[in-house]
């Protein structure tokens, strides 16, 4: 199974890895970034988070030659607690590679992709109870509208939700292709003729809602800042504007001392973070040619200030 890690070189450079340091990969996935970190370590150790059972199986096989890695099957919103459970309170670097792993899209039965006909699932943690089927067939009209507008930024949300409500009153919408057909039936020809799949934003919205991705990321990122040693770095790779907006906001707030306008005051306190780069980092033109998934990627890096 092919898995190309996005912004791999830039992420490893951004972490500024110490051979004896302690690092956290919050999104193990296929293990690409984890392997690159492990190659830089000698006496150091890597803690790898993922709530997906398949990710742990796939990555642990890929990384079987490394003994200095601890696999943690948990949502990264439990970052601080899971590290504390292992007597770790401070680390040298933390990496997030957000979004859906390639294998999650490529395994049809996971229900993440509108390209495969499969049950409406979309759970990253397959032990969780909430699925896309439950949201599509049992959420209120108002809740569905909020999900599509907020998480999918879908301009046609009203028409899509009306079509879903109408169809599920006849019979439940069980599969990804059934949902795709409902979406297509709701949209005018001029929208269907536009570039891009008409179900893309709806599927993104449902996936984010099923896995509570945005709140989980914000919770985890704030914990990550407290877990960093002085000089430690956090690297975040995002794939859509909502994730990037959270990262940008948290990094800005945590790297700024806010002074009321007009107040004659010279600040003596130091903010928790400083930005390693003032602007977002994008994949190189070479990477864009080789890896289509890289096209929407953005990376931000921050470093923990001295107290």
225: domain CATH number is: 3.40.50.150
**Residue 243 and residue 294 share a domain:** yes
Which carries the bigger pLDDT value, residue 94 or residue 262? Answer: 94
Q: How confident is the model at residue 266 (pLDDT cuts 50, 70, 90)?
A: low
Select from 196, 211, 226 the last residue of a domain. 211
Select from 158, 183, 211 the last residue of a domain. 211
| Residues 112-170: tens digit of each pLDDT | 999 999 999 999 999 999 999 999 999 999 999 999 999 999 999 999 999 999 999 99
**Residue 197 and residue 49 share a domain:** no
Is residue 182 a part of any domain in this protein? yes
**Residue 282 and residue 202 share a domain:** no
Quick one: average pLDDT of 193-205?
92
| Residues 15-33: tens digit of each pLDDT | 999 999 999 999 999 999 9
Quote the pTM value: 0.92
Tally the domains of the chain: 2
Quick one: average pLDDT of 103-115?
83
**Residue 158 and residue 228 share a domain:** no
Q: What angle do CA 5, 147, 223 make, to 5 degrees?
A: 55
Q: How confident is the model at residue 307 (pLDDT cuts 50, 70, 90)?
A: low
The answer to whether 145 touches 161, Cβ cutoff 8 Å, is yes
**Residue 90 and residue 17 share a domain:** yes
Is residue 78 a part of any domain in this protein? yes
* Gap between the Cα atoms of 41 and 219, Å rounded: 28
Q: How confident is the model at residue 268 (pLDDT cuts 50, 70, 90)?
A: low
Is residue 226 a part of any domain in this protein? yes
Q: How confident is the model at residue 251 (pLDDT cuts 50, 70, 90)?
A: very high
**Residue 85 and residue 23 share a domain:** yes
Helix (H) / strand (E) element for 105: namely helix 102-106
E runs forming strands in 150-278: 228-238, 273-275
Q: Give the model's pLDDT for residue 106.
A: 74
Q: Give the model's pLDDT for residue 5.
A: 86
| Residues 276-306: tens digit of each pLDDT | 998 999 999 999 999 888 899 999 999 999 8
Q: Give the model's pLDDT for residue 262.
A: 66
Q: How confident is the model at residue 263 (pLDDT cuts 50, 70, 90)?
A: low
Is residue 218 a part of any domain in this protein? yes
- Domain housing 74: 8-97+214-304
Q: Give the model's pLDDT for residue 107.
A: 79
**Residue 285 and residue 141 share a domain:** no
* Gap between the Cα atoms of 223 and 158, Å rounded: 37
Quick one: average pLDDT of 176-202?
94
Quick one: average pLDDT of 89-109?
86
List the structure tokens of 153.
């930024």
| Residues 31-87: tens digit of each pLDDT | 999 999 999 999 999 999 999 999 999 999 999 999 999 999 999 999 999 999 999
């Amino acid at each position: 199974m092919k898995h190309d890690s996005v912004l791999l070189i830039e992420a490893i450079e951004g972490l500024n890895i110490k051979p004896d340091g302690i690092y956290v990969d919050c999104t193990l996935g296929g293990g690409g970034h984890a392997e690159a970190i492990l190659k830089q370590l000698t006496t150091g150790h890597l803690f790898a988070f993922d709530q997906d059972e398949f990710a742990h199986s796939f990555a642990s096989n890929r990384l079987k030659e490394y003994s200095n890695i601890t696999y943690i099957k948990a949502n990264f919103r439990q970052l601080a607690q899971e590290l504390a459970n292992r007597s770790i309170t401070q680390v040298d670097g933390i990496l997030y590679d957000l979004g859906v792993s390639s294998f999650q899209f490529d395994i049809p039965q996971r229900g993440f992709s509108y390209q495969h006909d499969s049950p409406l699932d979309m759970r990253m943690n397959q032990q969780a109870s909430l699925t896309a089927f439950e949201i599509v067939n049992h959420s209120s009209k108002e809740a569905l509208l909020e999900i599509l507008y907020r998480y999918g930024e879908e301009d046609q949300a009203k028409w899509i939700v009306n079509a879903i409500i109408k169809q599920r009153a006849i019979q439940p919408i069980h599969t990804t292709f059934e949902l795709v057909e409902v979406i297509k039936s709701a949209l005018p020809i001029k929208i269907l003729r536009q570039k891009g799949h008409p179900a893309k934003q709806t599927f993104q919205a449902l996936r984010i809602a099923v896995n509570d991705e945005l709140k989980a990321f914000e919770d985890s990122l704030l914990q990550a800042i407290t877990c960093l040693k002085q000089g430690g770095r956090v690297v975040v790779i995002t794939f859509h504007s909502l994730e990037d907006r959270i990262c940008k906001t948290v990094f800005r707030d945590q790297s700024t001392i806010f002074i009321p306008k007009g107040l004659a005051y010279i600040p003596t306190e130091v903010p928790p973070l400083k930005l390693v780069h003032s602007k977002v980092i994008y994949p190189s033109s070479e990477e864009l040619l080789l890896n289509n998934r890289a096209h929407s990627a953005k990376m931000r890096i921050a470093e923990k200030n001295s107290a």
